[in-house]
């Protein structure tokens, strides 16, 4: 093992929404910053999904296997590259609703209250929106919380094939709203991400170093167990130890806790900072279903998403007083990664010959995503399982998730299919359908996962304090979506970015 000669003020592990945003926030401090990224830079042709075949097997899949509730292996949809999963997300950056930070009653239980309220998050949301050059309109959505500033850019126009549906939705008394999108001026890669607006800005500073193809495999504590002394990483074929005063994990809600669990020692026998036994528990990810309007209009399958509907976010407006969730259009189905993983089961052809069946479907259809939050459950968890195979120990990363809040999601799906039928009955050019093919996301779609190292004020029931520092280890922080106490129905990406800016402010003060 090689001990690196340098000593850093801070090491950031991961370059996604949390790590990339934090790096650019801290870069101007002049402190010595080391960024460790498991992957490498993505080729430009891989970043613009309008030019790639998203139905290709193995595209944007992790090289390792995780194991589900039944112990069956699967390859998660994870992107190990500079920019992390923001290189393959749809770049919609939505604020959580103000009420999402309160204790929210759902049909299956009550989502826990956040210890930090929307008013405290608002300035960091604004800062993140300006950093990521968000294009949007905050005035049309009845659920949108107050903004202290407008989005830095106006909303983009709806694609021609979507614009008629938007007008019909307004005529139905609903509130279709332009999706807030992070966009660049680069035609080859139009969507913004944490490589462009995070890492690339950070490494312009001489005090920032990035090492790619550097997979962190363990954290080493002091003999007292109260401080991280070194980060162990595999860089190419070599093992290195890197030393710093502060360590920040930003590898995602599964991989960050996997590192902490795998770094167990005598002082932390059940994983680092896991005296509460909450590390890896309370795994959450949205319930997501794609709903397809077949033969609605011919298109090339590569347009961008542009519209969301939140009229059913808190109820169905009729006889169900519990939250249902969020609706947005998928954009072109030929570039929607989640659609590629969740194809509606139209026929044997579509199931087993996606290049033919799904490609044909995508070019004649419009897709809508229904998203519903789930409740934290300590039995939904990530942990290492050690088995013996031919006398040799073998570790498996178990990813056990049983969804809840299912009735609310079903109501949202059927409510939206009813809306689509109403639109088609207007006789204004939309083809009338009797069946709306739909598909739920399988276990390998893990992009919206959160909650595995929840934030809180009580060390007995949480892993992180309000600054996302572990309760038990003074210099260890986690700034990906692991910290979420509950799961809203909108994407967690903007909240992760805002939190990285918030924690970055704290860290800059601490290091000064």
Q: Is the pLDDT of residue 203 over 90?
A: yes
- pLDDT level of residue 356 (50, 70, 90 thresholds): low
Tokens of 350: 């579509």
What lies within 8 Å, CB to CB, of 328 at 6+ separation is: 92, 179, 305, 307, 308, 309, 368, 369, 371
Which residue has better confidence, 267 or 354? 267
Query: So what's the pLDDT on residue 316?
Result: 87
pLDDT digits (tens, 9 = 90+) for 112-166: 999 999 999 999 999 999 999 999 999 999 999 999 999 999 999 999 889 988 9
What lies within 8 Å, CB to CB, of 437 at 6+ separation is: 291, 292, 294, 344, 345, 346, 361
Task: Tell me how far apart the alpha carbons of residues 474 and 245 are, in angstroms, rounded to a whole number.
Answer: 10
Query: So what's the pLDDT on residue 295?
Result: 62
Q: Is the pLDDT of residue 485 over 80?
A: yes
Q: Which segments of 173-312 does DSSP mark as H helices, in order? A: 200-202, 255-262
pLDDT digits (tens, 9 = 90+) for 156-197: 999 988 998 899 999 999 999 999 999 998 887 889 999 999
- pLDDT level of residue 347 (50, 70, 90 thresholds): very low
Determine what percent of the chain is predicted with pLDDT higher than 90: 74
Among the ranges given (44-58, 80-94, 179-193, 382-396), the one the predictor scored with the smallest mean pLDDT: 44-58
Query: So what's the pLDDT on residue 155?
Result: 96
pLDDT, mean of residues 238-261: 98
For the question of whether the overall pTM of this predicted structure is more than 0.85, the answer is yes
Query: So what's the pLDDT on residue 350?
Result: 46
Residue among 124, 36, 30 at smallest CA distance from 511? 30
Q: Determine contact, residues 324/415, Cβ cutoff 8 Å.
A: yes
Task: Tell me how far apart the alpha carbons of residues 250 and 113 are, in angstroms, rounded to a whole number.
Answer: 23
In whole numbers, what is the pLDDT of the chain averaged over residues?
91
Query: So what's the pLDDT on residue 394?
Result: 85
- pLDDT level of residue 344 (50, 70, 90 thresholds): low
Query: So what's the pLDDT on residue 59?
Result: 79
Query: So what's the pLDDT on residue 154?
Result: 96
Query: So what's the pLDDT on residue 431?
Result: 61
3-class DSSP assignment, residue 476? strand
pLDDT digits (tens, 9 = 90+) for 285-329: 999 999 988 766 678 888 899 999 999 999 987 888 899 999 999
Query: So what's the pLDDT on residue 296?
Result: 63
Query: So what's the pLDDT on residue 105?
Result: 96
Query: So what's the pLDDT on residue 339?
Result: 79
Query: So what's the pLDDT on residue 206?
Result: 98
Task: Tell me how far apart the alpha carbons of residues 459 and 30 are, in angstroms, rounded to a whole number.
Answer: 33
pLDDT, mean of residues 427-431: 56
Query: So what's the pLDDT on residue 331?
Result: 85
Query: So what's the pLDDT on residue 353?
Result: 47
- pLDDT level of residue 251 (50, 70, 90 thresholds): very high
- pLDDT level of residue 348 (50, 70, 90 thresholds): very low
Strands (E) in 419-494, as ranges, are: 438-440, 476-478
Given CA atoms 493, 455, 467, 227 in this order, what sign does their dihedral have? negative
Query: So what's the pLDDT on residue 379?
Result: 98
Task: Tell me how far apart the alpha carbons of residues 489 and 96 are, in angstroms, rounded to a whole number.
Answer: 8
Query: So what's the pLDDT on residue 53?
Result: 74
Distances (CA, A) of 329 to 158, 173, 224, 383: 11, 18, 52, 35
- pLDDT level of residue 396 (50, 70, 90 thresholds): very high
């Amino acid at each position: 093992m090689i001990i690196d000669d340098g000593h850093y003020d801070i090491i950031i592990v991961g370059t996604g929404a949390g790590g990339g945003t934090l790096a650019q926030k801290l870069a101007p401090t002049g402190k010595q910053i080391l960024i460790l990224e498991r992957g490498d830079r993505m080729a430009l042709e891989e970043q613009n999904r309008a030019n790639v075949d998203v139905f290709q097997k193995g595209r944007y899949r992790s090289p390792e296997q995780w194991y589900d509730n039944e112990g069956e292996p699967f390859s998660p949809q994870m992107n190990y590259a500079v920019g992390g999963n923001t290189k393959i997300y749809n770049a919609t950056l939505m604020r959580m609703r103000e009420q999402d930070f309160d204790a929210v009653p759902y049909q299956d239980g009550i989502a826990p209250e956040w210890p930090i309220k929307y008013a405290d998050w608002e300035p960091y949301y604004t800062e993140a929106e300006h950093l990521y050059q968000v294009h949007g309109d905050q005035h049309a959505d009845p659920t949108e919380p107050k903004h202290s500033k407008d989005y830095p850019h106006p909303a983009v126009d709806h694609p021609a094939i979507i614009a008629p549906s938007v007008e019909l939705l307004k005529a139905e008394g609903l509130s279709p709203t332009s999706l807030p999108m992070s966009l660049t001026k680069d035609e080859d890669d139009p969507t913004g991400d944490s490589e462009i607006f995070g890492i690339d800005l950070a490494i312009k500073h001489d005090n920032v170093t990035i090492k790619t193809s550097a997979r962190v495999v363990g954290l080493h504590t002091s003999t007292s167990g109260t401080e991280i002394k070194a980060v162990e990483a595999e860089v190419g074929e070599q093992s290195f130890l890197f030393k710093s005063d502060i360590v920040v994990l930003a590898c995602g809600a599964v991989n960050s806790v996997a590192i902490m669990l795998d770094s167990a020692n005598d002082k932390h026998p059940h994983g680092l900072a896991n005296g509460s036994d909450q590390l890896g528990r309370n795994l959450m990810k949205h319930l997501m279903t794609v709903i397809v309007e077949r033969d609605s209009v011919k298109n090339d399958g590569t347009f961008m998403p542009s519209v969301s509907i939140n009229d059913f976010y808190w109820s169905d407006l009729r006889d169900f007083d519990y939250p249902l969730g969020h609706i947005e259009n998928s954009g072109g189905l030929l570039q929607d990664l989640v659609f590629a993983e969740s194809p509606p089961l139209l026929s044997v052809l579509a199931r087993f010959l996606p290049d033919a069946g799904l490609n044909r479907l995508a070019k004649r259809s419009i897709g809508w995503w229904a998203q519903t939050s789930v409740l934290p459950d300590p039995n939904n968890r990530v942990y290492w399982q050690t088995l013996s195979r031919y006398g040799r120990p073998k570790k498996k990363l178990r990813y056990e998730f049983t969804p809840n809040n299912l009735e609310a999601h079903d109501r949202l799906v059927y409510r939206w299919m009813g809306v689509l039928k109403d639109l088609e009955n207007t006789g204004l050019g939309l083809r009338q359908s009797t069946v709306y093919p739909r598909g739920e996301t399988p276990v390998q779609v893990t992009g919206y996962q959160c909650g595995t190292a929840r934030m809180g004020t009580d060390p007995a029931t949480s892993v992180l304090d309000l600054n996302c520092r572990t309760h038990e280890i003074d210099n260890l922080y986690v700034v990906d979506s692991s910290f979420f106490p509950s799961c809203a129905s909108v994407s967690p990406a903007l909240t992760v970015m805002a939190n990285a800016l918030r924690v970055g402010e704290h860290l800059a003060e601490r290091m000064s």
